Structure 1
């Protein structure tokens, strides 16, 4: 998609869809039916003569030679011949497809990127799962919402796209959003200081590693057409299996966590959780991140907090969930969280618009400056000639 507004809108919808999948963890099935044509030797083309006719028929029969001459053009000539037969609009689309295919990371580059990001992604998810053992899920979600803050800070040290760069307005917006999430979860927070030391530290480290993962990816890929997301996540999973399988031996040997084969019910639960709750929303979320920006994508993680409370208040039969949905603190925190998110979207949209306008103006001014310099040179030459003429007289 070439229009920046359309790319931003699609990215926001994908981020919203990823948040909904994370919350409700619904199961999506997607099957594609493909048709493979076959060649039946018993079928005739209709050009061959039929010898079953009667002898009395006086119709003349025409037979064609079955030997054909086939000439193979070179790759360059064949491409030019194909482009010449296309219409103007089809030619533009074909050239755009060729341009994007040249920009796409090949298998070696994608594997190199996945090998760099895989340990960061694996450690972030591992710390996130362990932190929920020591701290409540809502508090872990609040700490994970600080991923946008660390992503913004790390953009100072990485070469990231222009939409991901650090600005004071983005910093204030991110802090405003985190404050709103804290206000929302205050009535649900039941913890002691001894519990928050371990759980808070683990979830905070998880947010840092996740932010480092996103910033590293964005330093490699600045456009969604440069990365095959399915191949990328497949390599991420492969490298995580190869890197982290010795951890099972370590935990089992020191009896920190005894290794046991899962039963049928546990295996099905792991598969469903891995596909629906982990892989599918991660793919959609990363696509939305590449379409928008890493700051918008990481801030959308914090939106799961008010969305989950709203969903529980609507669908749950528990009275406490309805009362939690009607508390003033919920709306007091919902306002800054929502306003800051849409304000960040507006900042990104305005930056894209102003950047295009700046590029256009700078291009026009460059031409104008060149003309003025040429005019000044001609004027200087003419003055020198007049001065020399007066001196001779």
Structure 2
């Protein structure tokens, strides 16, 4: 329960960071006129590589690398800090009763505490797994470590690299698609279509469940549809327009396509990663993002060359102000926030993490009301309540996966009618 609450706190904190990040991106694209979606996404995604410094600064990561490269090396199996526990020593009365003839003038004084050390990774296991190790692996240190990896489910460095390689491409495509959608269509239309990520996540999580919280229920479907409806009213109310006007603008169909591609890729990325990893204890999230940044930097630069020579996006180095804004926005709005967001997802569920994204739109528009004195129609205010209500409903339903109140109400109504 405490981990679940921590995950919710991280997701809400990420919403605040992304609202500020979106304001910075708006300033970069609209005011400075550095409209390079692929280039800016490539820079920010490559900055994930900074997490690979953990192999230099963090000793457990170094031991994992050496352990994968070498079966045996000095210091491979590190002992924990000393622990002192009460020693179970037979009392004098027990000794006298068990052996009456054993009496001597010599006396032995025992310490009431004994020093205990164990392998650090041994702490990852629960009591049942520790008992199995002690029974079957006594005297075989290498076998002990293999069994620990099996029981704990902790991904090794090669496994993290393979997962990072696959998800780096999906993550990058989703981000580029979202930036392209913003560059060719209205923000309100992109936000409305992005809210459908909850529907994609709900369906994919039901197909690839990673736990009880991913079970498909009618109540979750109603909550997701409520969120989509609320986001539609928020988007239309913010622009003071209607859906026909949005779709009749130039490049509207292209914007719809990019929005749906980005939304679907994000849902696939989140659900598949949650399915592959399970919980936050099975993977070092910073290590994962570090390799994502490395693969993005080394493999995706040819895309800039192709876009430059096809004329889609001309290569242009940013000026000092633009590069400073991209770097700061990348460090805070991408490197830090994506780490916190994925961690929050692993602590809660993929659907809650997706639904939390919808909260950024009302928050960003609220800033426009407070600081820019922007006025919106009644449709906007009518749409805010369903968005927040849907997020609270999904949070409750994922925390209580066996609960399906809408289904219960439908059954009761059906039984009353019949």
Shared topology, TM-score over 0.5?
yes
Distance 1:96 1:135, change over 3 A: farther
Aligned 8 A contact 1:176 1:337 in 2? yes
Please list, as runs of the form range in 1=range in 2, the aligned pairs for 1:1-393 lying within 5 A after superposition: 5-25=1-21, 82=82, 97-99=123-125, 102-189=152-239, 190=241, 191-193=246-248, 194-316=250-372, 318=373, 321=374, 323-324=375-376, 327-351=377-401
Deviation at 1:107, TM superposition (A): 0.9
Deviation at 1:253, TM superposition (A): 2.0
The whole-number CA distance in structure 2 between the counterparts of 1:145 and 1:183 is 12
The whole-number CA distance in structure 1 between the counterparts of 2:388 and 2:312 is 42
Deviation digits for residues 223-246 of structure 1 (CA, Å, limit 9, x no counterpart): 111121111111111111222111
Deviation at 1:83, TM superposition (A): 5.5
Distance 1:80 1:290, change over 3 A: closer
The whole-number CA distance in structure 2 between the counterparts of 1:350 and 1:165 is 11
Deviation digits for residues 96-138 of structure 1 (CA, Å, limit 9, x no counterpart): 7332984321211111111111111010001111111111223
Aligned 8 A contact 1:142 1:305 in 2? no
Aligned 8 A contact 2:397 2:403 in 1? no
Deviation at 1:255, TM superposition (A): 2.7
Deviation at 1:151, TM superposition (A): 0.9
Aligned 8 A contact 2:237 2:378 in 1? no
Deviation digits for residues 338-364 of structure 1 (CA, Å, limit 9, x no counterpart): 11111111112222799xxxxxxxxxx
The whole-number CA distance in structure 2 between the counterparts of 1:229 and 1:284 is 9
Aligned 8 A contact 1:142 1:302 in 2? no
**2:39 maps to what in 1?**
none
The whole-number CA distance in structure 2 between the counterparts of 1:158 and 1:233 is 22
Aligned 8 A contact 2:81 2:117 in 1? no
TM-score between the two structures when normalised by the length of structure 2: 0.64
TM-score between the two structures when normalised by the length of structure 1: 0.68
Deviation at 1:81, TM superposition (A): 10
Aligned 8 A contact 1:138 1:305 in 2? no
Aligned 8 A contact 2:345 2:352 in 1? yes
Unaligned 5+ segments in structure 2 are: 25-56, 58-74, 87-112, 127-148, 405-418
Deviation digits for residues 271-330 of structure 1 (CA, Å, limit 9, x no counterpart): 1121122222111111111111000000010111111122221222x3xx1x22xx4322
Runs of 4+ off more than 4 Å: 78-88, 90-96
CA root-mean-square deviation = 3.3
* Greater Rg over alpha carbons, structure: 1
Aligned 8 A contact 2:230 2:383 in 1? yes
The whole-number CA distance in structure 2 between the counterparts of 1:85 and 1:124 is 53
Distance 1:96 1:328, change over 3 A: farther
